[in-house]
Amino acid sequence: MTATPRRATRARATLTRSSWPPRPIIRRAAGLRTMESALERGGLGPVAGVDEAGRGACAGPLTVAACVLGPRAHAALADLDDSKKLTERRREELFPKIQRLALAWSVVSIDAAEVDRIGVHVANIEGMRRAVAGLGMNPGYVLTDGFRVPGLPVPSLPVIAGDATAACIAAASVLAKVSRDRLMVQLDETIPGYGFAVHKGYSTRAHSAAMTALGPSREHRMSYANVAAAAAGLSPDAVDALGRMDCRDAGTR
């Protein structure tokens, strides 16, 4: 006959409801504020959001932003949304408001040469680390858009479609997108002919034609198949087709 494991039974009996860790309550009505509110109620604030712009572009930098929003900022930025859903004019209007109302924000750019050297995904992760380090304050928790970021000094959570889910990530997406778009407009002045001010370095038919005619510039990412094809003298149609494949694989932001 097998003896009953009485010690294990007693141990289970001592686990009461009051001994469990507190469970955050997620309220759907909070909208983009839901995740941050739950983390802050659990004592894990302030919460930083991190997002990038330019991952799918074949020219120009990869730009990453981190942002910590205080309670007052959420009320003042009630119309904040994923930067992809906002018009360029609305993003430009929100940009200075986010900078003014945020408890802390940081924007970093990784140039095309570094993207080529370490790869776009590694560059994205590294950019997120640098952006968090540049906040000038220690957040209690970090929410990242889509990617797990190892090596952060505080707990973090990747959030799928985070820029449409968490206000701090949405704010970071606006900071990253506007900052990068402005850089691309400046590049269009120093490196004319490619149309950077229009397509912002993303793969379009006009961009493919310009790369074929002029060859890739110093701001193009040579590790991207369409850029390498343009350098090799392939036709604009072939370059354009490869560019669409690169955007699909890397993401279009």
- Could you give the domains of the chain? 30-181 (3.30.420.10), 188-250 (no CATH)
Nearest C-alpha neighbor of 194 from the set 88, 89, 57, 54: 57
Q: Quick one: average pLDDT of 231-251?
A: 79
pLDDT in tens, 76-116: 787 787 778 889 999 999 999 999 999 999 999 999 999 99
| Residue 51 among known ligand-binding residues | yes
pTM of the model: 0.83
Q: What value does the mean pLDDT take over residues 28-56?
A: 83
pLDDT at site 33: 74
CB proximity list for 169: less than 8 A, separation 6 or greater: 49, 50, 51, 143, 144, 145, 159, 162, 163
Only one residue has tokens 């659990």, namely 42
Residue 182 main-chain phi, psi, to 5 deg: -65, -40
Residue 93 marked ligand-binding? no
Strand partners, 107: 65
Q: In what order do the strands lie in the sheet with 47-53?
A: 102-110, 62-69, 47-53, 141-145, 156-159
Q: Looking at residue 161, what is its pLDDT? A: 84
Is 52 one of the annotated binding-site residues? yes
- Across-strand partners of 145? 159
- What phi and psi, each to the nearest 5 degrees, are found at residue 165? -120, -40
What is the model's pLDDT at position 24? Answer: 37
